[in-house]
Structure 1
Amino acid sequence: MDQLSQNSAPIYEALERYKAMRVLPFDVPGHKRGKGNPELTSFLGQQCLTVDVNSMKPLDNLCHPVSVIRDAERLAAEAFGARDAFFMVNGTTSAVQSMIMSVCRAGDKIIMPRNVHRSAINALVISGAVPVYVNPGINKELGIPLGMSLEDVEKAILENPDAKAVLVNNPTYYGICSDLRAITELAHRHNMAVLADEAHGTHFYFNEGSPVSAMAAGADMAAVSMHKTGGSLTQSSLLLSNGRISGGRVRQIINLTQTTSGSYLLLSSLDLSRRNLALRGKEMFREVCSLAEYARTEINKIGGYYAFSKELINGGTVYDFDITKLSVHTRNIGRAGIEVYDILRDEYSIQIEFGDIGNILAIISVGDNLFAIERLVSSLSEIKRLCSKDRAGMFDHEYINPEVMMTPQEAFYADKSTLPIRESAGRICSEFVMCYPPGIPILAPGERITAEILDYIAYAKEKGCILTGTEDLQMETIRVVKE
């Protein structure tokens, strides 16, 4: 690899060399290494502003890398066991969209679970690809969507032999994994590509006890949120490929939507985080797993809560479980997850990842320690003691099977009318409705609005979920396909 090793960090090293050159800038960005914005420099620090620079020969170009960015991407590919790795600075949203658009054109079918992140459905709106949804399994006790069973995927493949790809969450937000290796083998036998949304799976590549990673399972591409559990800056991600799709083709697809002004703050954070994971990742994630298991055990001792784990594995819709996801069921203390989420932040100054109507999720990763875990556990114990309520009247499930009437692209670009949301039952939705996080649509363009869905939306709103996706920021009205 041209004398490169995982000890190298080519982008970081090039930035250090460039700083030492003391170049006088007459290029963008206009703050000129922080001199033009002293308030920002004071807030973020001189060190940060001096490396917020533009693409140039010594620093390479993200759109067409030929030197240090190329080398950093090669090292990332090696570290993650991929043929190609692409640095993404528009977030994993951009990685998911580029991944789908690399294999699907307008009218092409793609098999996917309906509990995908909105970025995957956005890709269908942009590209015109057609979803074949596989409804995930449901755990009725917890009210959460699970993974796709191999049997359901096979049924979808046999009924849609012209589909171009299968998309798999690896894992879901709750830590649930489908049988990715078997799904990949099945899809490849039918000449379909396999794409993995690994937004929450960075650590799978560096932790021997984790579920199988997409590249190890033989999947064709994976979108990996390095910033979620890998230590890089927010909005920085990787798109990995096993080589079945031409790297040049993927780069051209990426360049359709990714910025031409790639942030070197984000790029260097990817470079340094990859080096850190390659050199110390296994040791780091052993400790993460130990902390997560300790937290799970202590929370379950409190009573009322249920911090679930590998006992959910059933060989089908739950093939494996990511133990670093501290998912906790809260409904038995009479509180929606979003209520516990708000209490933790507002009363205990603890910010967890999300709360939905029945569960909370705390991300345990490389920046955590035992003191932080103890504080979380003790706060949950106190919340149970002080805030428990009767659970009567609580909504009991997160996922509602959709009625798909039109493709996302057709519905999104159709002539629309606006209705009060409570009067929209029976109509076809032309926009998204979702709680964020996690960003999994309750309604997506092209789906029929039902009374059950409207009841769910009203309940989620009442409990304090942040609802997003509609043109109306107050979510009093909704855009529907004009009849």
Structure 2
Amino acid sequence: MNLLLQQKAPIHEALLRHKSNRVVPFDVPGHKGGRGNKELTDFLGENCLKVDVNSMKPLDNLCHPTSVIREAEQIAADAFGAKAAFFIVNGTTASVQGMIMSVCKAGDKIIMPRNVHRSAINALVVCGAIPVYVNPGVNKDLGIPLGMSLSDVKKAILDNPDAKAILVNNPTYYGICSDLRGIVDFAHEHGVKVLVDEAHGTHFYFGEDMPVSAMAAGADMAAVSMHKTGGSLTQSSFLLCGNGINPHHVRQVINLTQTTSGSYLLLVSLDIARKNLSLHGTELIRKTVEIAEYARGEINKLGGYYAFGKELIDKEAVYDFDPTKLSVHTRNIGLAGIEVYDLLRDEYDIQIEFGDISNFLAIISAGDRALEIERLIASLSEIKRLYGKDDKSDMFDHEYINPDVVFAPQQAFYSPKKSLSIRKSIGNICGEFVMCYPPGIPILAPGERITEEIVNYILYAKEKGCLLTGTEDMAVNNINVVEVD
């Protein structure tokens, strides 16, 4: 990384020049620097509205950058050790879809774990690629899916020599990492591209003693969600390319779906966040790890809860662990993770990232303060005392269910469908998604057989208060199934 280069923020500098020039706007947006919408200006601030501008010559164009955005891309590529970097304003969803659609077309096989974000399976619905699932390991004690073991990946590649790519989570929502270097080496030996969903791994590029990042491991592409752990605004992301990828083709693919009206608020947040991480990331991430480790230790002293960490590493399905993740198992206090999530929010005014059947996740960053960490720990102690249950007989014992894939996602999604009640759908082929959000990992995806085990899981998740999404029926009482001749 060129530290002298990293001190620059071309988009930020261009917007400052634009403000000082006092340009008269006869273009969009119609709020005209905030003057046309006083309430919005009062809420967001005049400085914000004045740089919510349209593409113009001094500010470049996101779809075809030739000046300040292009320079910012090159500096970002240097920061991440990539051949090329793209600013993405449609969220990391667009980054993941850009990766898959850049290397796969209709009918191509792509190997992936089943515990992928819905954005990956959405990409298959759009482009028509065929998934080959590698079932991740499962820790039934914790009720979580793990990573892909290298031996399982090797078998999938050898069994599918025509596969074009493999998608790897680095890390999972829970902080679990697969053997990324081993996967990259074996995949490349067999002509398979490696795509990495690093939605929760931005800090891997800038911290000390972190799990290996995608670009450092030699992966072909990576989707990096800067807004999650990198400090940029929500919905902003980077798409990175390694040496084996044609970045000009990737830009064409991105432009199929990304807006032509790129938000300069999102763009400048990426530019400044990248600069901040490049110059101060080591210190910031060291502080993040210290906070997470302290919280993990104190929560484990409470009893009943289990804030898990590096002790899970087995160099197989848990090859490494992200120490910034504060993932906490709750089943031993007789409460589902989503129940603890709801109690923290509703009774203690604490908002964590998500709760599922067995665990919850609190996102930790250097922006957290000691007083807030202590408040979380004290609240968990009180929740255990006031709401904990000794009877755990009705607790679900796992989070991941192996899928039975009958049709490709695109085929199922666009097939004629009928709506059935959840209970009556057993045995049919799902024609849509069913997932808890967050984290947005499908319980059912288009093309998968609906089983009694899956239906029981969905009903249990509803009963516990998980926000279920993806179905056409907003109440999630019915599921669209494929009409089979």
TM-score where L is the length of structure 2: 0.99
Aligned to 1:435: 436
Which amino acid in the other structure matches residue 52 of structure 1? D
Aligned to 2:324: 324
The alpha carbon displacement at 1:267 in A equals 0.1
- The answer to which of 389-398 and 169-178 deviates more is 389-398
C-alpha distance after superposition, 1:244-275 (max 9, x if no partner):
11110000000000000000000000000000
Aligned to 2:360: 360
Matches within 5 A, 1:38-49: 38-49=38-49
Q: Secondary structure at the match of 2:47?
A: helix
Supply the distance in 2 between the matched residues of 1:250 and 1:400 (Cα, whole angstroms): 34
Runs of at least 4 residues of structure 1 off by over 3 A? Answer: 1-4
Aligned to 2:85: 85
Which amino acid in the other structure matches residue 442 of structure 2? P
Aligned to 2:394: 393
Are residues 1:146 and 2:146 paired?
A: yes
Aligned to 2:121: 121
Q: Secondary structure at the match of 1:5?
A: helix
Q: Secondary structure at the match of 2:5?
A: coil
Q: Does structure 2 retain, via aligned residues, the 8 Å contact 1:310–1:323?
A: yes
The alpha carbon displacement at 1:2 in A equals 12
The alpha carbon displacement at 1:375 in A equals 1.0
Supply the distance in 1 between the matched residues of 2:53 and 2:157 (Cα, whole angstroms): 47
Which amino acid in the other structure matches residue 212 of structure 1? V
Aligned to 1:309: 309
Aligned to 1:160: 160
Matches within 5 A, 1:5-154: 5-154=5-154
Which amino acid in the other structure matches residue 138 of structure 1? V
Matches within 5 A, 1:447-462: 447-462=448-463
- The answer to which of 462-471 and 240-249 deviates more is 240-249
Aligned to 1:274: 274
Which amino acid in the other structure matches residue 426 of structure 1? G
Supply the distance in 2 between the matched residues of 1:349 and 1:452 (Cα, whole angstroms): 35
Are residues 1:192 and 2:192 paired?
A: yes
Matches within 5 A, 1:182-261: 182-261=182-261
Supply the distance in 2 between the matched residues of 1:92 and 1:82 (Cα, whole angstroms): 17
The alpha carbon displacement at 1:79 in A equals 0.6
C-alpha distance after superposition, 1:206-229 (max 9, x if no partner):
111110000000000000000000
For the structure 1 residues 3 and 125, does the alpha-carbon distance in structure 2 shift closer, same or farther, using more than 3 Å as the test? same
The alpha carbon displacement at 1:243 in A equals 2.6
Aligned to 1:334: 334
Matches within 5 A, 1:411-430: 411-430=412-431
Supply the distance in 2 between the matched residues of 1:344 and 1:185 (Cα, whole angstroms): 44
Q: Does structure 2 retain, via aligned residues, the 8 Å contact 1:4–1:75?
A: no
The alpha carbon displacement at 1:366 in A equals 2.6
Which amino acid in the other structure matches residue 356 of structure 1? D
C-alpha distance after superposition, 1:349-375 (max 9, x if no partner):
000000001000001013112222111
Supply the distance in 2 between the matched residues of 1:301 and 1:479 (Cα, whole angstroms): 46
Q: Secondary structure at the match of 1:323?
A: coil
Q: Secondary structure at the match of 2:6?
A: coil
Q: Secondary structure at the match of 1:191?
A: coil
Q: Secondary structure at the match of 1:327?
A: strand
Gaps of 5+ in 2: none
- The answer to which of 430-439 and 73-82 deviates more is 73-82
The alpha carbon displacement at 1:421 in A equals 1.3
Q: Secondary structure at the match of 2:132?
A: strand
For the structure 1 residues 376 and 2, does the alpha-carbon distance in structure 2 shift closer, same or farther, using more than 3 Å as the test? closer
Aligned to 2:372: 372
The alpha carbon displacement at 1:4 in A equals 7.0
Which amino acid in the other structure matches residue 326 of structure 1? L
Supply the distance in 2 between the matched residues of 1:161 and 1:128 (Cα, whole angstroms): 19
Q: Secondary structure at the match of 1:442?
A: strand
Supply the distance in 1 between the matched residues of 2:140 and 2:401 (Cα, whole angstroms): 12
C-alpha distance after superposition, 1:43-102 (max 9, x if no partner):
111110000000000000000111000111111110111110000000000000000011
TM-score where L is the length of structure 1: 0.99
The alpha carbon displacement at 1:155 in A equals 0.5
C-alpha distance after superposition, 1:397-452 (max 9, x if no partner):
11000000000000000011111111000000000000000000000000000000
The alpha carbon displacement at 1:3 in A equals 11
The alpha carbon displacement at 1:392 in A equals 1.6
Aligned to 1:472: 473
Aligned to 1:262: 262
Supply the distance in 1 between the matched residues of 2:377 and 2:81 (Cα, whole angstroms): 36
Gaps of 5+ in 1: none
C-alpha distance after superposition, 1:302-360 (max 9, x if no partner):
00000000111111000000011100000000000000000000011000000001000
Once the two structures are aligned, what percentage of the paired residues are identical? 74
The alpha carbon displacement at 1:162 in A equals 0.3
Are residues 1:404 and 2:405 paired?
A: yes
Q: Secondary structure at the match of 1:222?
A: strand
Supply the distance in 2 between the matched residues of 1:117 and 1:9 (Cα, whole angstroms): 31
Supply the distance in 1 between the matched residues of 2:8 and 2:403 (Cα, whole angstroms): 48
Q: Does structure 1 retain, via aligned residues, the 8 Å contact 2:3–2:279?
A: no
Aligned to 1:346: 346
Q: Secondary structure at the match of 1:293?
A: helix
Q: Does structure 2 retain, via aligned residues, the 8 Å contact 1:229–1:366?
A: no
For the structure 1 residues 2 and 295, does the alpha-carbon distance in structure 2 shift closer, same or farther, using more than 3 Å as the test? closer
The alpha carbon displacement at 1:167 in A equals 0.5
Supply the distance in 1 between the matched residues of 2:57 and 2:190 (Cα, whole angstroms): 45
Which amino acid in the other structure matches residue 469 of structure 2? T
Supply the distance in 1 between the matched residues of 2:50 and 2:321 (Cα, whole angstroms): 42
